[in-house]
């Protein structure tokens, strides 16, 4: 699977139930522009599995990739398209797309989230766009941390492949803004 998607919505049930906002975004955005990353690692396994199954059905309905934070077995059980690892976790051998969170040195995963670009609750000092641009030395790096659809031009200028986020996707998501951001970030049906 490629990283043609330009947006990654990350779940966090402490912030919002993801189903309604993700349904709205997936229905309104161009098919394949948005990937969904099931994080919520602290849920009891049966509850996380149920949420994962609901997200798998939703993403399949709209042709969106489902990425799962955690282990390969759980991702495969859900039929996910990809696996997302924490900063420093060893990259597994798998047929899944593999992504990784980075807060400094970049890894060789298929895609990366580099954060925090802007101030974000509980995430430490922000990198800022100049430091983000200096760190991006490879394709497939998504900007994360305090970003919204209005940051797409800065993300492109800094060399980002796309934008990832939690609050800006789950709390009152700006559908029109995200559609424009996906286009500005280079998403089109031809990139799929």
Per-residue pLDDT of 64-74, as tens digits, reads 999 999 889 99
| Residue 164: both structure tokens together | 């990832």
| Residue 156: both structure tokens together | 């492109």
pTM for the full predicted model: 0.96
Confidence of residue 136 (pLDDT cuts 50, 70, 90): very high
Per-residue pLDDT of 138-175, as tens digits, reads 999 999 999 999 999 999 999 999 999 999 999 999 99
* Residue 191 domain flag: no
* CA separation for the pair 85, 46 (Å, rounded): 21
Q: If phi over 0 gives left and psi between -120 and 50 gives alpha, with beta otherwise, what is residue 172? A: left
Which positions ≥6 away from 49 have C-beta within 8 Å? 74, 77, 78
Per-residue pLDDT of 86-130, as tens digits, reads 999 999 999 999 999 998 778 899 999 999 999 988 878 899 999
| Residue 170: both structure tokens together | 């789950």
For residue 151, the number of C-alpha atoms closer than 13 Å in the C-beta half-sphere is 23
The pLDDT assigned to 159 comes to: 97
Q: How far apart are the first and last CA of the chain?
A: 10
pLDDT(191) > 60: no
pLDDT(22) > 90: yes
Task: Report DSSP state, residue 63.
Answer: T
The pLDDT assigned to 152 comes to: 97
Burial class (CB within 10 angstroms; exposed 0-12, middle 13-18, buried 19+) of 95: exposed
* Residue 2 domain flag: no
CB atoms within 10 A of CB 140: 17
DSSP β-bridge partners for residue 85: 100
Angle subtended at Cα 69 by Cα 102 and Cα 150, rounded to the nearest 5 degrees: 60
State the residue range of the domain holding 125.
7-186
* Residue 130 domain flag: yes
Distances (CA, A) of 139 to 64, 88, 127: 20, 19, 19
Which positions ≥6 away from 53 have C-beta within 8 Å? 78
CB of 103 closer than 8 Å to CB of 126:
no
CATH number at residue 138: 3.20.20.70
* Residue 85 domain flag: yes
The pLDDT assigned to 192 comes to: 44
Count of the separate structural domains present in the chain: 1
Per-residue pLDDT of 27-52, as tens digits, reads 999 999 999 999 999 999 999 999 99
């Amino acid at each position: 699977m490629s990283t043609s998607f330009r947006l990654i919505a990350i779940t966090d049930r402490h912030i919002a139930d993801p189903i309604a906002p993700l349904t709205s975004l997936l229905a309104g955005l161009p098919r394949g522009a948005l990937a969904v990353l099931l994080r919520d690692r602290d849920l009891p396994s049966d509850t996380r599995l149920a949420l994962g199954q609901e997200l798998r059905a939703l993403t399949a309905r709209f042709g969106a990739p489902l990425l799962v934070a955690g282990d390969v077995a759980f991702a495969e059980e859900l039929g996910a398209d990809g696996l997302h690892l924490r900063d420093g976790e060893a990259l597994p051998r798998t047929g899944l797309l593999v992504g990784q969170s980075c807060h400094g040195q970049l890894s060789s995963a298929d895609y990366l989230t580099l954060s925090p670009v802007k101030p974000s609750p509980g995430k430490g000092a922000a990198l800022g766009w100049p430091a983000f641009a200096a760190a991006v030395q490879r394709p497939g790096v998504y900007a994360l941390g305090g970003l919204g659809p209005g940051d797409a031009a800065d993300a492109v200028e800094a060399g980002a492949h796309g934008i990832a986020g939690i609050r800006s996707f789950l709390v009152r998501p700006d559908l029109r803004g995200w559609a424009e951001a996906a286009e500005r970030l280079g998403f089109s049906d031809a990139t799929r």
